[in-house]
Amino acid sequence: HAPVSAYLARRDLGIEDQEVLEAIRYHTIGSPEMGIIARIIFVADYIEPNRTFSAVEQIRDELYNNGLESAIIKTCDLTIKYHLGKGSLVHSNTLRLRNACLRRQQMWRKR
């Protein structure tokens, strides 16, 4: 639904801001190329107050204790685990986002 939502936001609402459209487009599956606004919305979508799935507190704790990058990785990990458990496909963007975040964390640790 996310890519269609971005399309409709542009077509029907006249939204032209690329950061806003990117955040809408990738809020469910992510993308390694996401900017900071899209990254924040990606995690926020998973941890918003109405979410009740059992692992939501893990993501909230990760964000609070270790920051946005770690929360993105945790979100991806839990999404991947969910899809594997259901025997369903994992979107390649989610895998690529997770790997990109891990690479960034490894680079930061080397510094």
Residue 95 has pLDDT above 90, yes or no: yes
The full set of domain ranges for the chain reads: 2-110
Both ends of the chain: CA-CA distance in Å? Answer: 39
Residue 106: pLDDT over 90: no
Amino acid occupying residue 27: H
Separation of alpha carbons 103 and 111, rounded Å: 13
Distance between CA 69 and CA 75 in Å, rounded? 10
Say what the pTM is.
Answer: 0.88
Which pLDDT score is estimated for 76? 97
- Collapse the DSSP code of 87 into the 3-class scheme (helix H, G, I; strand E, B; otherwise coil) and give the result: coil
Pull the structure tokens for residue 48: 């918003």
What pLDDT, on the 0 to 100 scale, is given for residue 2? 79
Superfamily of domain 2-110: Hypothetical protein af1432 (1.10.3210.10)
Query: 28 with 4: CB under 8 angstroms?
Result: no
